[in-house]
Structure 1
């Protein structure tokens, strides 16, 4: 009687310690592909998982009892040594036929969304690469539904990946609701359930390290987000995870200048949506000078413009996000606010916060009046009827892309299509100016095309 599940290796490339079933590894009939931890090219060694260069580590002790070393680049996924072995079975696309109707989303698309949706379907059918450039709140996820349905009907394996775990956790319930009869798994660093083989995968881009030629359709959301944008090894992992014949869809509200150049030169197919689906313009951020904000907000809080605005929003019962540039200063400011506004219902979240998921959900459930956050929530999360205040918008952490994305948290719902975005600064930066110009430009393009009907 078979005691193992070989499907955990389908389209995967994982090490021995990531597989609990020893019977599976020892089964010679399965013809498991076994490869070394490192790849050698032109006398240099590279990690098989992330493609980073590997260098000798003096006096490195290893259980292999030989001179050994390991990859330091992807060590958070488990240590890849020279003596490590990777195990892989080719992707067979062994999926049960999903019950009808496969797509159970009841919404409708606007004309511009419908056009983009058809272009996405065409790219999937022809195994092309396409960039979907849509302003924040344009309904990117809904535009993917027909393409995903097409891929499912063709028995393809699909992955929706994002650099941010918050984006994955936001996407997962929406995708499962739209495709309730399709096997789905959500993969991220702190997931509590074991990996299972599914036709539809929602994952952080880091999880793509563990796949090899698995996906017939790979969709990468927020391609301009950290760390994917600046990490060659994550981009390598994305390419490794898809089949040689496959479709690749990029999603972004803020393509960098390189992608914009490729679009102008027709080097990449693109679908561009300059307007939100509800026909309202993007909120234009307002610049407000707050001199010496770092010191004054901690030591002279009551006299600052930011504090007065916070009090005003609380009085008006208007919920809001309060963006701050770094964790250390956030922790100090949180303590100050708890003393200045006792009884206010708020939390602070950042990338190292183990309670982040719960706190964000409390904000969604409207149990909080506001949420203090770093740029971890700059994208991929939706809250109804909120304003956004950015403290220290001149800090280098706030790139043009980040500031546009942050502004995009406001006015996303057709029931609440407006709201305030305020960039507090103590010196204007090029990124602040460019972010505002980019938002104004998209509004102008949308208006010229007749896509803004509600002003």
Structure 2
């Protein structure tokens, strides 16, 4: 029975299947690469190469697009479970949460619930820190209690790791399976799955409710195969919920014109305005790495995030700043101690954490101040700067926070990010969602 649960909704290569492999009578099979050619796992139709294959002894075509997930070649067979799905216990949907939704959250929650019940698509556009996760609770509870399977997908593993314990707490009868590279849950089954969008390559027609968090985040917006994976992983009859704090311009236009069914939450649940960034010229930071203005700012901070555009400059800055306080640390996507450093920051053991854009979203540190060095760099787009600013003032106990854009010249992205935050505050006041 354990193996059957594991296979439900999955589409796997023979190398990915658990031992012992059950009766293949309950599996549909297809080649990994079709004749067109097309990768049947990720949908790639252009990015292929060939090599002498040790498995089949021929010159074999393989997909380069999803090779990090394991090789899919012409002689690969994909196995998809077609047997019965396990029942979802009614107790799975029991919600253990005593919080109260703000008026903006309640409207979004009702609309999400309706979309799930009607198996439709809906977008929640909510400012960073508005409480998007809480907006999902009622819809998830209803879906699980009705025996449906739910997936929350996010582009980054940090978001998955942040969401998993929160969902575990509110749905204690349904421990979620958290799926990301190297996850200990990757061989388990649950009717509630929290997954990186990359892990969805291994699913087909598995979920009755698909929720995509941070839909505007890299790499999801730029990688059509990840969008393909989301569509492949959901059932034909299913609900699709998108969550975003910074929708891309085309989505923003569709939402504002009514072409896309959406709910806008322009204010945070604690009814305080979004902290607005200030811009401060710091000179040529590429030469000095830690300009005097930045150095003075760091010296005054007990809990702060300091964003750098590139790993190389960040690591040089770390060497300088550690001379001031040896507890200061840095983190980036390839850092093997990334998880531990973020946890140490939460415990108050790290006063200032230098970071790349890897922490621009999906993490919460109450009472944190935020600064960006080299805010004019092209990596800091309008949406990235809005998200970075959104790290400050997220909790009700600490609803304010300083945000500084240190720069060597203003950019349109910097100006527009501040305009967007001011516009959300204006809308929040107009809708009566702010106290000040």
TM-score, with structure 2 as normaliser: 0.97
| Distance in 1, Cα, partners of 2:47 & 2:103 | 54
Paired position in structure 2 for 1:381: 363
Superposed counterparts of 1:108-187, under 5 Å: 108-187=100-179
Superposed counterparts of 1:315-334, under 5 Å: 318-334=302-318
Paired position in structure 1 for 2:78: 86
Contact 2:93 2:144 in 1 (8 A): no
Instruction: Supply the RMSD in Å over aligned alpha carbons.
Output: 1.6
| Distance in 1, Cα, partners of 2:74 & 2:335 | 34
SS state at 1:70 partner: strand
Q: Deviations over 1:67-99 (max 9, x none)?
A: 212111101100001100001113744134153
Gaps of 5+ in 2: none
Paired position in structure 1 for 2:10: 12
SS state at 1:80 partner: coil
Name which of 280, 298, 309 aligns with 1:310. Answer: 298
Name which of 316, 320, 335 aligns with 2:319. Answer: 335
Contact 1:98 1:182 in 2 (8 A): no
Gaps of 5+ in 1: none
Superposed counterparts of 1:407-418, under 5 Å: 407-418=389-400
Name which of 374, 383, 394 aligns with 1:401. Answer: 383
| Distance in 2, Cα, partners of 1:181 & 1:56 | 44
| Distance in 1, Cα, partners of 2:314 & 2:333 | 12
1:273 aligns with 2:265: yes
1:246 aligns with 2:230: no
| Distance in 2, Cα, partners of 1:58 & 1:435 | 45
CA gap of 1:183–1:309, structure 2 versus 1, over 3 A, is closer
| Distance in 2, Cα, partners of 1:426 & 1:221 | 33
Name which of 349, 352, 365 aligns with 1:370. Answer: 352
CA gap of 1:59–1:111, structure 2 versus 1, over 3 A, is closer
Superposed counterparts of 1:68-83, under 5 Å: 68-83=60-75
Contact 1:93 1:156 in 2 (8 A): no
Bigger drift between 182-191 and 61-70 goes to 61-70
Q: How many residues align?
A: 436
TM-score, with structure 1 as normaliser: 0.93
| Distance in 2, Cα, partners of 1:231 & 1:92 | 33
CA gap of 1:177–1:245, structure 2 versus 1, over 3 A, is same
CA gap of 1:76–1:101, structure 2 versus 1, over 3 A, is closer
| Distance in 1, Cα, partners of 2:78 & 2:94 | 35
Superposed counterparts of 1:431-442, under 5 Å: 431-442=413-424
Q: Deviations over 1:328-362 (max 9, x none)?
A: 111111112122x0x44221110001111111011
